[in-house]
Structure 1
Amino acid sequence: MRKIRLWTATSILAVSFATGASAQNIDWQIFTEPFVTSAHAQEINWQKVDDALGRKPAVSGDVRRYGFPRSDLTVTLDGVTIKPALALGGWVAFKPMHGEAMVMGDLVLLESEINPVMLKMIEGGLDITAVHNHLLRASPATFYMHVGGHGDPARMAAAIHDALAVSKTPLSMPAAAAPPPAVDLDTAQLDQIMGAKGQANGGVYQFNVPRRDPVSMDGTTMTPPAPLGAAIGINFQPTGGGKAAITGDFVLTNDEVNPVIKALRANGIDVTAVHSHMLDEQPRLFFLHFWAVDDALKLAKGLRAALDKTASAKS
């Protein structure tokens, strides 16, 4: 593919110089990644990916994200029954890259499912980039397998489907469910405190706060960041009486990790994990997971104090 791109660039230059164009007059923007990505996005037959995964994606820009929530599990923590949108929403996302596609994802698994799924992923040519917890004390315990790959998107989708098939992850699209209950929280106040606009999803109020500076992987900018797991994610699940369970992950550079830990702990929010999700992103990032159950507005103020320790984008 790089040879093809080099040949294309050389051919354009040859024609340009033959017609009297100078290097100063050539529009070099035609060689930039957005141009190449856009062209390649149109070449990919995404219907084959949809068919392999058995579902339709949420599309953001040129990223297609497929959800695999663990709706089959009943997971409780500190007396809270966790909704899939709070902490059990497995996913994979595809982005055109170098003429093919990159895939990355975060799959929710039981302990007994980790190695069978991992083996099938490896057999399918995909990479395992992390395996770890996001929560503590949950029953049953859940683990999170981060995966990645680069190649033909339909082939990778088939490998992901085959791997998930050895777990109990629901692979058939569920029948149309009743609308989720309204989020019983003062969401306007939450937006004001957090300095961002949240969105209701599956009975959970969610914030996605991108980092100020771009994140790249294999020379490709990870945009839009939220569907690729490169934005700070904060979730509120109402528990009644203005209280909420909160969890999610902060996306941090190394110098931000301990200031954020201190800010969260000073506000009564537990830190449940600090680890990597990817292997070769730039800049190097760390993902910090948290948990608390308390007054929602109080918790929002603590989360805002932690956000202030990060180089996150301002609304």
Structure 2
Amino acid sequence: MLNTQAIESLTGLKGQTTGDVLKLSVPRSEMRVTLDGFEIIPFMGLTSWVSFKQGAHHATLMGDIVVLEDEIEDAMAAAIQANLYVTALHNHFVREQPRVMFMHVEGTADETALATGAHRIFEAIKIVRRKHPVEPAMKKVNSSLDAPPLEAIVEHKGESKDGVLKFVLGRPSVPVVCTRCGELNIDAAMGYNTWLAFQGTDERAAVCGDFAMLENEVRSVIRELQAGAIEVIAVHNHMFFEDPRIIFLHYWGIGNAQALAQSLRRALNTQQ
């Protein structure tokens, strides 16, 4: 069983427990990011996180760290020095100002070692930003989306926060295990999920998010997104040692909110 108190003490962060997973989140509220006239606030997709889950012998950490370009080297060095795998470094957006990258990390070890490693990554980023501060993010965005119709299309309940309507969809019907982690089950709380985030108005909304796909689903998801005029931004891995292999796709779209949701629903339907 995880020692959540020790993990929170070592990281200096308060976590949220979902089932047997402890997730620690760090919203990047100290930096302002804009894209095509929209504010990309933390709840829209600029929140770093690490999740911990206890296995048969050791704990496993998986996480996604939001980094500006001048933070990459120090954040990556901190992860490597902590014996964590850097499983990916990539974009989630295009045309955003300033440029933002995402560093995925993974490790299996004693929970205190993992927590110490996570703390070192977050501290390395803080040091860079203290030396070179940037304009902070807006606390919320103006949004007047009618949530119920979007929830009906997505077929899932959304969470509204700071002007953003967000959906997080797990895939319990397609179980994934980490083979290096003692066949540990990797669920939505550990980062194996599809998500959608909307802001704006019903007539002109922005949506971004991430599809979790089996390899044979990638082509059909891309086809439906392109047919709905939603940009495919990146296709890549987030994890190592998972079985089956999971590919992640990031996207961005602007348009009528319900039309965007319908395009995303059609892409989701190809995975069924």
TM-score by length of 1: 0.78
Q: Does residue 232 of structure 1 match 2:194?
A: yes
User: For residues 82 and 159 of structure 1, what CA distance do their matches in structure 2 show?
Assistant: 28
User: For residues 124 and 184 of structure 1, what CA distance do their matches in structure 2 show?
Assistant: 44
User: For residues 168 and 213 of structure 2, what CA distance do their matches in structure 1 show?
Assistant: 14
Bigger radius of gyration among the two: 1
Q: Please list, as runs of the form range in 1=range in 2, the aligned pairs for 1:163-242 lying within 5 A after superposition.
A: 163-168=121-126, 184-211=144-171, 212-218=173-179, 219-222=183-186, 225-237=187-199, 239-240=200-201, 242=203
Deviations 1:131-159 (A, max 9, x none): 00010110001000000011111221112
What SS is found at the alignment partner of 2:238?
A: coil
For 1:257, the equivalent position in structure 2 comes to: 218
Q: Please list, as runs of the form range in 1=range in 2, the aligned pairs for 1:14-163 lying within 5 A after superposition.
A: 41=1, 44-163=2-121
Q: Is the 8 A contact 2:196 2:208 kept in 1?
A: yes
Shift of 1:183: 5.5
For 2:242, the equivalent position in structure 1 comes to: 281
User: For residues 193 and 215 of structure 1, what CA distance do their matches in structure 2 show?
Assistant: 27
Higher RCO, 1 vs 2 (CA within 8 Å, ≥6 residues apart): 2
User: For residues 242 and 208 of structure 2, what CA distance do their matches in structure 1 show?
Assistant: 24
User: For residues 170 and 8 of structure 2, what CA distance do their matches in structure 1 show?
Assistant: 27
Greater strand share, structure number: 2
Q: Is the 8 A contact 1:100 1:150 kept in 2?
A: yes
Shift of 1:203: 2.7
Shift of 1:181: 7.3
User: For residues 196 and 241 of structure 1, what CA distance do their matches in structure 2 show?
Assistant: 18
User: For residues 209 and 159 of structure 1, what CA distance do their matches in structure 2 show?
Assistant: 28
Aligned length: 259
TM-score by length of 2: 0.90
Q: Which structure 2 segments of 5+ residues have no match?
A: 131-138
Q: Which letter does structure 2 place at the counterpart of 1:58?
A: Q
Return 54-63 or 208-217, whichever deviates more. 208-217
Deviations 1:50-85 (A, max 9, x none): 011112111100001000111111000001111111
User: For residues 191 and 251 of structure 2, what CA distance do their matches in structure 1 show?
Assistant: 16
